[in-house]
Amino acid sequence: MKSLADLEAIRKEMLEKVTLRKDDEQGVRIVVGMATCGIAAGARPVMNAFMEDTAKRKLEHVTVSQTGCIGMCRLEPIVEVFEPNKEKVTYVKMTPEKALRVVAEHIVNGNVVTEYTIGANE
């Protein structure tokens, strides 16, 4: 980097590559627990499955993000789905295959996959 102009050019290039996340009350948030316990249990492939499937389906109202420890390590990988004006849904013991089903049934069609939720797995 030689100057402020170079830095500004890099900034503009990166802004074009990255979609800035906004707090959108109309959007759906999928949050994957990515603390060491989640990663050890397989959270990274689960997160990748959510990101790839929502991108493939062009679900622009959906944001996939990560968080630290959700606090129930024995149930990892854990995924929380936040929808406007609805109760949070917590999915546990997730796999990439389960993630694809959650996108298809819950995110696209509005039907919670109850057999993957915390209530069904306690």
- CATH number for position 70: 3.40.30.10
For the chain, how far is it from start to end, CA to CA, in angstroms? Answer: 54
Give domain status of residue 2, yes or no: no
Q: What distance in Å separates the CA atoms of residue 106 and residue 122, rounded to the nearest whole number?
A: 21
Answer whether residue 22 is part of any domain. Answer: no
Mean pLDDT computed over every residue of the chain = 87
pLDDT, residue 10, reads 82
Asked if residue 105 belongs to a domain, the reply is: yes
C-alpha 92, offset from chain centre: 13
Query: For 79, phi and psi rounded to 5 degrees?
Result: -130, 130
Domain-located, residue 72: yes
- Residue 16 covered by a domain: no
**pLDDT for residue 33:** 95
Residues 82-114 have pLDDT tens digits of 999 999 999 999 999 999 999 999 999 999 999
Confidence (pLDDT) at 24: 46
Whole-number Cα distances in Å, 24 to 20, 27, 28, 39, 89? 12, 5, 8, 28, 18
Structural domains of the chain, count? 1
Instruction: Examine residue 12 and state whether it is found in any structural domain, yes or no.
Output: no
According to the model, what pLDDT value does residue 49 have? 96
Q: Which portions of the chain are predicted below pLDDT 70?
A: 1, 15-25, 120-122
Question: Is there a domain that residue 8 lies in?
Answer: no
Owning domain of residue 104: 27-120
Q: Is residue 69 part of a domain?
A: yes
